[in-house]
Amino acid sequence: MNLIDERLEELKSKALACSDCPLAQTRTNVVFGEGNPNTPLVLVGEGPGANEDATGRPFVGRAGQLLDQCLAENRITRKHVYICNVVKCRACIIEGRSVKNRPPRQEEVSACYHWLKEQLEIIKPLVILSLGAPASNIIIHKDFKMTRERGIFFPTQYAESAIAALHPAYVLRQHGAEFEAARASLVADIAAARRKVMEIKKELAEKAAPQPEIKPAPPQELNLF
């Protein structure tokens, strides 16, 4: 376990006991995030649903399976990346015996934000892939529009670069040709994020490499001008 692992574990143990917003009253588990803390690529979604709440793990259930398939088509597994959400507890509406997901409220997002921020400050990814518009509103910019800005790289305070992709749960709600197109776009955006990681790594390696010695021009060249 290195320092990054240790710091993230310490943060996680604090987050698991969090009761900073009303979602603490209805959650089963805090879904802190999981994967490789030493990764250059972090995926961020909006918040946990029923399966995630039940297991304490991000992106399980059908949306998680689709995400795993799209990652696998880019030869990426969960051991290569870190996956988390903006909000760490499930937002839901309880009506009698029925419990339905709902989007987190602004005050819940604000209360939870510091956990994500600290997570990303510890991991220091090179690239973030935000899944869906709500996560992109936090990671990229507050007026982010998926229809106009999906697949574009943006500078971000949390990483060298960030790109948005469709949320796998949204992809699953599409049918027929729309489903195929949405799924293909998710695969393509993961591929773009992977390429960006490699590009940034190459740039950093070039900057870190010793510069060749620049010799002064011989006198006869100077005489040409």
Nearer Cβ to ligand SF4 (32/127): 32
Closest to 23 in 3D by CA, of 46, 39, 2: 46
Spatial contact of 86 and 47, defined as CB atoms under 8 Å apart = yes
Residues 96-125 touching ligand SF4, rule: CB under 6 A, are 108, 111-112, 115
As to burial, measured by CB atoms within 10 angstroms (0-12 exposed, 13-18 middle, 19+ buried), residue 14 is exposed
Spatial contact of 150 and 37, defined as CB atoms under 8 Å apart = no
Nearer Cβ to ligand SF4 (108/189): 108
Nearer Cβ to ligand SF4 (88/194): 88
Residue selected from 60, 70, 76, 89 as contacting ligand SF4 according to rule CB under 6 A: 89
Closest to 190 in 3D by CA, of 34, 36, 41: 41
Instruction: Report in angstroms how near the CB of residue 146 gets to ligand SF4 at its nearest.
Output: 23
Residue selected from 18, 42, 140, 182 as contacting ligand SF4 according to rule CB under 6 A: 18
Nearer Cβ to ligand SF4 (65/110): 110
Nearer Cβ to ligand SF4 (22/151): 22
Taking CB under 6 A as the binding criterion, the range among 85-93, 129-137, 172-180, 203-211 that sits at the site for ligand SF4 is 85-93
Q: Is 190 in the site for ligand SF4 (CB under 6 A)?
A: no
Q: Is 24 in the site for ligand SF4 (CB under 6 A)?
A: yes
What span, in angstroms and rounded, lies between the C-alpha atoms of 200 and 198?
Answer: 6
Q: Is 171 in the site for ligand SF4 (CB under 6 A)?
A: no
What span, in angstroms and rounded, lies between the C-alpha atoms of 194 and 64?
Answer: 19
Site of interaction with ligand SF4 (CB under 6 A): 15, 18-21, 23-24, 30, 87-89, 108, 111-112, 115
